[in-house]
Every structure is written in structure tokens, then in C-alpha cells.
Amino acid sequence: MSGGAFVGEAEAYGILQRSGILPPRHAFATDPAPFSPGDPVVLKGLGEGLWHKSELGAVAFIGYEKAAVDRSAEAMRGRVEGAGHRWIGALVCEKIAFARSEGLPSEAFVSLTRNETGWIALFGCGGLQAEALSQHAGVLRWPIGLMSPAQALAEVREHLVGRVWLGRLRGAKALTDEVRLGAFLTGLWRLAGLAEEEGLTLLEMNPVALDLRGDARPLDAVGRRDPRPPARIPPPAGFLDAVRAPRRVALAGISSREDGVGRIILENLRRCAALEGGLTLIKPGQDILLGLPCVASVAALRNRPVDLLILAIPAPAAAKAVSELIAQGGGAQVVALVPGGLGDGADTEGLGAALAAELRSTRAAGRWTPAILGPNFLGHWVPGIDLDTSFIPQEKLPPMHPEGGSLALLGQSGAFLLCRRSRHRHLRLLLGAALGNELDVALPDYLEGLASDPRCRAVAAYAEGFRPGNLDATLYAAMRLRERGVPFLLHRAGRTAAGQAAAASHTGAMAGEVDVELAVLSRAGVRFSDSIAAFDAALSWLASYPKIPHGPVAILSNAGFECVSGNDAIGPRPGPARLEPDTVQALREMLAAEGLAGLVAPRLPLDLTPMASESAYLRAAEILLRRDAGSLILGAVPFTRRLHTDGAVGRGFAGMLAELSGCLGKPIGIAVDAGAGYEPYRDSFADAGLPVFRSVEEALLGLQTLAG
């Protein structure tokens, strides 16, 4: 274990006592001891940076006798110093008799870890078998600032250790009660406050056992102090208005090559009618280029500033241009850095670090700076005004829906966003933005702006990590979105769940940062996708139904396999709809009227068979949604002549389903499990504003992801 200043057991015990959590009675071997001859004690050799004493033979269980203690302590000192640790001293600790349940885990692992969002408490199986047990029981993670001890107690009650302690397993005797366990957790919350006062970043107790009275007692405790990073200084307020609806845009990096990055960006910008007369090129030595006015440098923007400046020029020139803007005190509200080589692996000159430092120092002094997008800024899209700042040719992507929508799609990976746009041809976006390397403007800054925008009703994002300060800002932005009822779906890439769980069970200092992120953000209402497939499925629902109810789902299809496989996949969340007797009767009457009596059983999933027409689908959907279902997945296997897969009838069917959904305020997802020849049929549903999927399972995956 490296980094930071080590907090040894004696100091950690002192902090525990102040919180009301009682460690063993203890004293250094050189001090007067609160023990009588023959008392069972544990002798511990403490060394600077020594986290695992038993591995060096620095733990001994003996009967208290001063001479024996001194001999053992001297031997321990030799082993500790021989391993390179500065000797702190020998600690004599009371050997606590603790309660056990035979054959069951009776010890807990508890730690407090401070990250930029505050203190996180971890609770899991402790002792020698902690790693093995964690594969079955997992680790609970509690953001101290977002939860109460009572909420933590409710989760401990269902954890394996809590069930053992409280006697909630068959044949197990209770070792404690909820009053004592609640008192320990209340002390843990107090301990976080004391650890903050003491400047700690980690305090670990492993194991924590119950004494014979049922009180939780930490048998070992160590910690660490680490330097804390400087507070994040966000970009200037209002940057998002300039991103979403710029009136004046300047572009540097136009070359004679038609396939050059700057030329493609310009082609895309010129389609935006709102920028008519508002485009300026930065091109030394020219007054007019491609019919647009030119200026020689960013100095010309000082007296005629733009909302957005796009720099598609080499990294050194881009960094120099930003510094010139800062020095002159204006010129562009937002600057987009298209090139890489600023703060990444290609930045051999430290350009990114220098620019970031300049932004920080200038803002700290209260002076003007622009907001910086990127580097590696691929671009952004605002479909409602046909704004496209990307360097992707128009013919390479499907056109954006001209009406736009209420969904914001954000991503640290520009390629990820491009793939989503290509896959989801009918996606209705309020905003799509590639975040690039986030030297300045980052995910939480977009979230803060969107939380204040009533047009934004859902957010989906892709992240590969958080720079210092950004996780905390993301947490509070997510809480603002939740307060307004805006769902936030996040795909956190770059995680290995099994490895992180094993590390977290072993030591709080090794708890995976991704796990901490998930623990904190999930408490703020963020929904996470386990795969890109799950993200895509959830994205389709969000684009059409930002306010998806969490009620039960009904499956309706004309294919038996979809009903069977859908029933297998439905899971407890959102869970299957259950039909009330009056609903069964209404379905029975409808089936008779549609000529399906005797062919179709009025139950869920409802298999209408290939004999069903659009009329049967519509009538069944209305019955289910008016009565017992919170949402509906409609599987339309298109091979029967009873379904009209082209022409006005098919489009009319899609329109009536969309109207039914809007009238009842309940979502309908369409699954068309068929080949490329049926794309026009899928399009008819998508054009009506309904989410379309390749299978019932895919539709269910999206609902399950959003249900959390």
C-alpha cells in the first residue's frame, strides 16, 4: 500500500473512540497497561506503512505478562524494521471474546473512503475469507452525504453478514439486534465527520466482530491521509446557450482540400439557416473565401466577438490562439478544439497542461476566459436548427430528425455518438455533443445546463472516466436532473466488475474507483447500462418516452416463440403485468369478436397467433393498457398476410398505436423480428414516434435498464 501518510492503529483507535465505536482496550507496551497478569491479549507490532501485520509475524496471542510482552515486542520490532518499516511501537490489545454462528460468516469488513464526492462507507464480509465470500455477498457502498444510518441498516438487514448477525437465516441464533447494529452505523456516520476533521482519506476496520453483548467491535483499524486536489473551477455560465444556438461562428482551418476537416465542418455549418450571414473564416491573407468573409487572426474577434470559435488547426496553433483570446480579454464565448495533441499521449510539449493551468489561474483571478470544448472535439448536433459542427460528411450519416426532440445524447467518445446516430436513424435529439478530452467543459457542465432547460426531458451519456472534480460536479448535476424528473442514463465504460468486487472486499483503499462512481451516482438516480446493447435499447425508449413508468409490462405478439422467450426474459423489474378477472373477460369478448375464440387464450403474454389482424392488435393493446399494464411490448412478426407491412394500412396502424399510447400516457414498444426487407415497416412505426426493436428481448432489456 503506497501513497499518502499512514495512520497507524493506535491513532485510528483514538478516532474510533471519539465516535462512540469501541475498539479493544489497548495501550503501548511501554505505557502502563490496563491488564492483569494472565489476561488474554493480542500483541501487535506497528510499523509505518505496515497494513498487514500478520504477514510479518507482527501479531501474537498471549497471556499478559510484562516480561513476555517485552520479549515478543522486541522480536516483532526486528521483523518489522527488517521489512523496511519504521517502528512505531508494540500495542497490547484486549482479546475480545466475540459471538459466532457455526459455519457462517460472523465478521464484517467496514471502511470509510473519501473521494471528491465526500465519504463513502463500505460494508461486506470480513476476516480471512473475505475475498471468497464477496463473490456471493458483495459489498455495500453508502455515500455518507446522501444516505442516513437508517437507510444503511435496511440494506445491512438483507446482506449475508447482517442476516447472520440478526439471526435471519434458518436455524441461526441472533448475535445482536437492530438497536445495537443501528447504534454502530450511527457511530460510523459520526466517524466520517471526525475523519474529515482529522484530514484522513481512508479509515479501514477489518474485521469488525460482535462481542458477547452484541456490540460491533473493530478488531483492527488503519488509515491514510492524502493531499486533496484543488477545487474545480467550472467554465463560464451560459456556455451551453452559445453551443445550442450560436448566432455568430468563426472557423479556422480551411484548406484547399475538399476532403479536409475544416472544409467538411464548413459544409455542415452552411446548412444551418440560423447562421446565414453569421459565418466568419480565419484565413490570413484573404478577405473572401468560398463566399464568406475572412479575418487574419483571433485578434479581429476582439471587437466583433463570436458565440463559437472552431479551431481545426494543429495543436500548437490552437493553444496559441486560445492564449491570445485570454490575453485580449474576449473574442469568443466558446472555443472548440478539434485537434488532439493537447493533454493526451501525443502532447509531448505539455501544451494541454499549460493551457489548463492558464485557464485555472485566469478564472481564479476573476478575469475572462472562453469555455473550451475538447480537445479532440468531433462536433455537436442541434437537429431543431439543423446545426452540425462535426467533420463527418453529410452523406456518411442519416439525416437528423428535423423536428428534433427532448433527448440529450452526450459522449466522451465521438465515435460512440456517430455509431448511435447511424444505428438509431429515427432518433429525435434535442442535442448531441461529443465531449472530447474534457480539458475544460466536461459532462457535468452539460448536465448543469440541461437541468435548467425545460425542453430537455431525458439525458443519455457515455463516459470512460472522470477527471478530478468532475465526479462531484456530475453527482450534483444528476441530483438536479432528478429533482426535475429528468432520467439520466449513463454507460460507464472501462470497468471489470469481478475484479473490482474482489478488491473492494479486501481493502477499502483498493476499492475500485468505478464501483465508487456507481455507488454515488446511483444514489442520485442515475441509471447504468451493463452493455452497449442495453444502452441502445434504453436509448430507444428514452427518445420516445422520457417519463417511462415503472409499472408492469405486458407482451403482445402474433408469434408463440416471442411470448415464450419474452416471458423467460421479463424478470422482476419492471415485472410482468397480472390480469384481473374483468380484464380476462374483456379479452375473451374481444377475441370472440375478432374470430379468434378457441385459438387464443386470454392470458399474458398474449399470443394472438398469425391469424391476428391490425384490429385485433389495437383492441388488445387498448384493453391491456387501460387496465393492468404500465407499458406494452408489441411483437409484430410480419410474414402473415393478416398484417399489412407496406402502404397506407401499415402507416395507419402505426399512427393509431401512437395515438393510443399518447391518449393513455403509457409507452408502447414495437418489436419487428425480421430481415432487411422489412425496414420500411419498421420505419412506419418509428416515423409515428414509437420505439422500434429487433426483438422482444431487446425491448425488455431497455425497460430493465431504465428500471435499474
84-97 average pLDDT score? 96
708 or 114, greater pLDDT: 114
Lowest average pLDDT, out of 80-89, 169-178, 445-454, goes to 169-178
H/E element, 207: strand 202-210
Task: Tell me if the pTM is above 0.85.
Answer: yes
Are the folds of 108-225 and 233-377 the same? no
Mean pLDDT of 526-532: 96
With a pLDDT cut of 90, the percent of the chain lying above it is 85
At 204, give phi and psi (nearest 5°). -115, 135
CA angle (21, 26, 28) in 5-degree steps: 135
- Mean pLDDT over residues 257-280, rounded? 95
**pLDDT given for residue 496 in this prediction:** 57
In the predicted structure, residue 497 carries a pLDDT above the cut 70: no
- Alpha-carbon distance of 382 to 262, in angstroms, equals 19
pLDDT tens digits along 305-348: 999 999 999 999 999 999 999 999 999 999 999 999 998 888 88
Q: What is the pLDDT of residues 604-653, one digit of tens each?
A: 999 999 999 999 999 999 999 999 999 999 999 999 999 999 889 999 99
d(C-alpha 179, C-alpha 189), whole Å: 16
pLDDT digits 0-9 by tens, 544-560: 999 887 789 999 999 99
Give the pLDDT confidence of 400-415 residue by residue, as tens digits.
888 889 999 999 999 9
Segment 244-248 shows an average pLDDT of: 97
What integer is the mean pLDDT of 563-572? 92
Residue 507 confidence (pLDDT): 37
pLDDT at 547: 86
Residue range 494-503: mean pLDDT, rounded: 51
Q: By the 8 A CB rule, do 125 and 137 touch? A: yes
466-478 burial: b if 16+ Cβ within 10 Å, else e: bbebbbbbbbebb
Percent of the chain residues past pLDDT 70, beyond the cut = 96
495 or 412, which is more confident: 412
The per-residue pLDDT for 468 is: 86
pLDDT band at 500 (very low <50, low <70, confident <90, very high): very low
Please write the tens of the pLDDT for every residue from 10-52: 999 999 999 999 999 999 999 998 999 999 999 999 999 999 9
The verdict on whether omega for the bond into residue 375 sits within 30 degrees of 0, i.e. cis, is yes
The answer to whether residues 493 and 415 touch, using CB atoms and an 8 Å cutoff, is: no
pLDDT at 130: 62
Domain map of the chain by residue range? 25-94, 108-225, 233-377, 397-528, 548-707
For residues 43-62, average pLDDT: 95
Kindly indicate the confidence band of residue 503, based on its pLDDT and cuts at 50, 70 and 90.
very low
pLDDT tens per residue, range 144-167: 999 999 999 999 999 999 999 999
CA distance 156 to 655: 49
**Residue 123 to residues 88, 175, 206, 224, Cα–Cα distance (Å):** 29, 18, 10, 18
Cα distance between residue 114 and residue 203, in whole Å: 9
H or E segment and range at residue 152: helix 149-158
CATH assignment, 108-225: 3.30.470.20
C-alpha cell at 441: 467543459
Q: 548-707 has which fold?
A: Rossmann fold (3.40.50)
Check if CATH label 3.40.50.720 holds for domain 233-377: yes
Q: What is the mean pLDDT of residues 251-275?
A: 94
Mean pLDDT of the chain: 93
Contacts of 112 (CB under 8 A, 6+ apart): 119, 120, 121, 122, 144, 188, 191, 192, 195, 200, 202, 203, 204, 508
pLDDT in tens, 477-490: 999 999 999 999 99
The CATH number of 397-528 is which of 3.40.50.261, 3.40.50.300, 3.10.580.10, 3.40.50.1000? 3.40.50.261
Query: Comparing C-alpha atoms, which of 22, 424, 466 is closest to residue 210?
Result: 22
Residue 416 has pLDDT above 50, yes or no: yes
CA distance 650 to 9: 73
